Amino acid sequence: MTNFKIKIGLIGFGRMGRFYLEELQKSGRYEVAYICDLSEASRQLAHQLSPESQITDNENIIFDDPSVQAVALCALANSRKEQIEHALNRGKHVISEKPIADTVDREWQVVDIAENSSCMTTVNLYLRNSWYHNTIRDFIRSGEIGELAIIRVCHMTPGLAPGEGHEYEGPAFHDCGMHYVDITRWYAGCEYKTWHAQGINMWNYKDPWWIQCHGTFESGVVFDITQGFVYGQLAKDQIHNSYIDIIGTKGVCHMTHDFHTAKVSLHGVNETLELEKPFGGKNIDRLVTLFAESLESGKRSESLPQMRDSAIASEYAWSFLEDAHQHTLPAIGNLRTLEQIRERRRTMTNGYGLLHQR
């Protein structure tokens, strides 16, 4: 730990922006010089939570200030490419939310710009920074489960409903699902080869809000990913189901969490371990620490997710969604139920993936 503080500007002060502010403040390694948001309500909140920061609706003030060393970009995907471009052109390091742009073409343009810049860039593929996935990957690498063969990932919550926000981020399987597409590829350590996706147009909404995709990797490892924000949104008491199963030729790893605690079961040939630790949320504490360490040492941490990883995950998530559209896509339920869900979520204060109240 040094006394040197990284002067940073935060752009986009919604749900994620607030998480960033909290972690940047806690880390002690950053000076949050600016917070920018287009919404008046978000700016008022920023004044309250960070009175020492300059609050603005004009991002150019941040880009034009030569003393700002880095930006954290947490607005929506439609503004991300230009913001990354502006930041890098002005010599600022970038922590970006995912996806890194709103179309695949533009995401690859970002990768190009980032890889040709001398500034450091990273993206919040938060599962890569979780203790549970790193513990499991270390266990696999130690040979305890034999050869990696099957990766099964499931994440179903009564989360963000269609039409509530994040429209530029795409349907649930892209917006949230790209994390699972990414982490499955991270475990496999190679590229996807074949896939088949089945979706359902729940509530007769035009896009599937639940998808299961299975297939193979170049290595022969097989996968199945199930992701849906269609999990009992109108249940009196809400519940979710999130787990990962990693099956090898000899042993198996399992993880499940309740958003507070993550439980990892490692069943290897020599060792059986049952671990239980705090879930860690979006792991932004780890992201901003790795970023600060990388900037301070001038050597990029290998654990920092790359823009390229985000573009790849995003492109595959779109491909899997597209594949679901090629097969029978039943519609079950009606838009009236979806309206009831949105109505309920508008007034919820404690739920899954609620957008910030304006």
Binding site for ligand NAD (CB under 6 A): 11-17, 36-39, 42, 59, 74-77, 79, 97-98, 124, 126, 165-166, 169, 175, 282, 355-356
Nearest residue (CB) to ligand NAD, 97 versus 144: 97
Nearest residue (CB) to ligand NAD, 74 versus 230: 74
CB within 8 Å of 327: residues ≥ 6 apart: 196, 197, 198, 199
Q: How many alpha carbons fall within 13 Å on the CB side of residue 18?
A: 14
The residue with its CB nearest to ligand NAD is: 14
Interhelix angle 15-27/284-297, nearest 10 degrees: 50
Residue owning tokens 């990768």: 111
Nearest residue (CB) to ligand NAD, 190 versus 355: 355
Residue type, 123: V
CB 139 to ligand NAD: min, Å = 24
CB 265 to ligand NAD: min, Å = 24
Nearest residue (CB) to ligand NAD, 126 versus 223: 126
CB 244 to ligand NAD: min, Å = 16
Residue owning tokens 């190679």: 190
Query: In whole angstroms, what is the distance from residue 195 CA to residue 26 CA?
Result: 42
Nearest residue (CB) to ligand NAD, 153 versus 221: 153
User: CA-CA distances (angstroms) from residue 216 to 133, 141, 145, 148, 176?
Assistant: 20, 20, 19, 12, 21
Quote the tokens at residue 64: 């034009």
CB 275 to ligand NAD: min, Å = 22
CB 89 to ligand NAD: min, Å = 17
Residue owning tokens 């990354």: 84
